[in-house]
Amino acid sequence: MGGPDRTLTVINHQTGTTREIRPVKTVQALLRHLELTPETVLVIQGEALLCDDDPLDQNSPVEIRPVISGGSLP
């Protein structure tokens, strides 16, 4: 784990933003922090697709990719 100043880089394709957050240990904790449900996104680190209970590598950016698409304006 990183020290008090360490951050985790999160690239969120859903919002089109990249942000630094306080490090979290698992995918589940990250999704809770971002208020996302596992069914709606892929969580990717490096070349790997991660499961909910997988640990996060604190030194590598995490990619959040939305899976929901489609629809029309009301």
Residues that bind other proteins (CB under 8 A): 13, 37-40, 42, 44, 48-54, 65-74
The least distance separating other proteins from the CB of residue 17, rounded to whole angstroms, comes to: 14
Nearer Cβ to other proteins (50/62): 50
SS3 65: strand
The least distance separating other proteins from the CB of residue 54, rounded to whole angstroms, comes to: 7
Nearer Cβ to other proteins (22/32): 32
Q: What is the DSSP string of 3-63?
A: -TT--EEEEETTTTEEEEE---SBHHHHHHHHT--GGGEEEEETTEE--TTPBPPTTS-EE
